[in-house]
Amino acid sequence: MTAARRLVSLLVLLLALSAPAQAAEVLEAILDNGLKVLLLEDHRSPVATFQIWYRVGSRNERPGLTGLSHLLEHMMFKGTARFGPGVFATTIEQLGGQDNAFTSQDYTAYFVNLAADRLDVVLELEADRVQHLLLDPKAFEAERRVVLEERRTRTEDDPVSAMAEELGAIAFRLHPYGLPIIGYKEDIERLTVEDLRAWYRAYYAPSNALVVAVGDFNAAELLEKIRKAFGAIPRGPDPPPVRVVEPGQDGERRVVVKKQEARLAFVFMGYLTPNHASPDSFALDVLATILAAGRSSRLYQGLVYEQRLALDAGGDYSFLASDPDLFTFYASVLPGKTVEEVERALLAEVERLKTEPVTDEELARAKNQIDAGFVFRQDSVFRRAMTLARFELAGDWRLMDRYLPGIRAVTPADLLRVARTYFDPDRRNTGILLPLASHGPAVPDR
């Protein structure tokens, strides 16, 4: 074992020993109205995070009604009859806390981080807006303009985001994972207050929500306060399930996007892969680390440092996605190099995973990297709550106890088998981004 490997292994061991035990301490409850509650005491500092997650995101949308979940997230801060516009954020700020929210493919989450002895105020605010959101038409029109501007700056005028949106659209022909979380411009412009009100009624119900809190409190006492604040809220109807299954892919799909704003050409690739429900998911997660996670990854080392073809390279795998999603990777094209060179180099690294076993040292380094990242996240009450929530929404928070053992059990043979199974050229989706001014090098439509 090299000195570097010994140091990393020792660091991971020390972190694991110092991290608070989690599984045995989680207080789990389901209220009569279906609200799931997970509470975890952490008395290292006098702070807490309170999070409420709703099982709704762009995955629940359809063409013509995209962007509903994200727009409703914005409107959740526009007040109720009891607490008017801006009161939520102002109240939390006056208490010295921070609040925010985010929307993903699979869920919409709201969180508040503040002194633990101020949690009663958060319970009152959250319980009120899950029942009595105003959805004022004037506020809606103003927020629609905000979202349209957000889409313009973050997608339409951002070449990389625009390319990622196009890649999703060709990779998913039926499944809503192909829809942008922020929504299409044309849909956002046509959404109505009634569309939002129907979405709110369908998905913002206790039976479709998860409350997670981590911090310096007594869990049993906090549970009773949550029961008092949320327990009388009606359960609400069960939202319609997402039944769409993406059909098989029988050949590579390609898209070329040309953008005036682009300064560099980019090459994107994605393969449809299973989520955590598959035994192969652990090997896929390790493959993502080896291939595309950070500057020590094969793509960065090979394309940026060694071959000097790219300015950047990386990728991602969605282990906890609700449905099979894309294993993606990318590289930006260094000025003076061609898209074809970079694409060949990317594919060469993929083929290498299918033909050459990963060395024991490289595999150990990837496992240690995943292990250390997972343990480091437990040092923050916010991240601990996020981890609990994400595993719970994936099926059960206890799945997190099997995550690191699953990662540690991955072998070089597993990596070869999984790479050969899922990195099939006929299952590849390729996107090319070209600067419009120069039009870039010619790209064959294969």
Residue carrying the six token digits 């035994």:
279
Domain assignment present for 125: yes
Token readout for 309 is: 């073809």
The Cα 316–Cα 291 span in angstroms is: 9
Same domain, 75 and 159: yes
What's residue 269's pLDDT? 97
Same-domain check for residues 260 and 210: no
pLDDT digits (tens, 9 = 90+) for 405-425: 999 999 999 999 999 999 999
pLDDT band at 12, cuts 50/70/90?
A: very low
Across the chain, mean pLDDT equals 92
The per-residue pLDDT for range 121-146, each reduced to its tens digit, is 999 999 999 999 999 999 999 999 99
Residue 43 lies in a domain: yes
Domain termination site, one of 168, 196, 230: 230
Position 102 in a domain: yes
- How far is Cα of residue 371 from the mean position of the Cα atoms in its chain? 19
pTM of the complete model: 0.91
Residues 202 and 90 in one domain: yes
- Two tokens at 120? 């009663």
- pLDDT at residue 150 in the model: 97
Q: What percent of the chain has pLDDT over 90?
A: 90
- What backbone torsions phi and psi does residue 40 show, to the nearest 5 degrees? -135, 120
> Domain range for residue 100?
22-230
Give the mean model confidence (pLDDT) for residues 217-240: 96
Q: Is there a domain that residue 401 lies in?
A: yes
Q: Is the pLDDT of residue 9 over 60?
A: no
Same domain? 118 vs 210: yes
CATH number of the structural domain spanning residue 320: 3.30.830.10
Span 313-371, pLDDT tens digits: 999 999 999 999 999 999 999 999 999 999 999 999 999 999 999 999 999 999 999 99
Query: Does 16 have pLDDT greater than 60?
Result: no
Position 28 pLDDT exceeds 80: yes
Residue 161, in any domain of the structure: yes
Specify the number of domains making up the chain. Answer: 2
Nearest-angstrom CA–CA distance, 246 and 270: 15
Asked whether residue 10 is domain-assigned, the answer is no
Residues 225 and 308 in one domain: no
User: Which of these three, 195, 230, 265, is where a domain ends?
Assistant: 230
Q: Are residues 163 and 203 in the same domain?
A: yes
Q: Are 197 and 263 part of one and the same domain?
A: no
Give the model's confidence band at 378: pLDDT under 50 very low, under 70 low, under 90 confident, else very high.
Answer: confident
- Of 168, 195, 230, the last residue of a domain is 230
Kindly state whether residues 412 and 285 are assigned to the same domain: yes
Any idea which residues carry the catalytic annotation? Answer: 73
C-alpha span between 275 and 317 (Å, rounded): 9
Q: Are residues 188 and 309 in the same domain?
A: no
Q: Is 269 found in the same domain as 204?
A: no
Q: Are residues 62 and 204 in the same domain?
A: yes
Tens-digit pLDDT profile for residues 43-88: 999 999 999 999 999 999 999 999 999 999 999 999 999 999 999 9
- Is 442 domain-assigned? no
In a domain, residue 173? The reply is: yes
Answer yes or no: do 197 and 258 share one domain. no
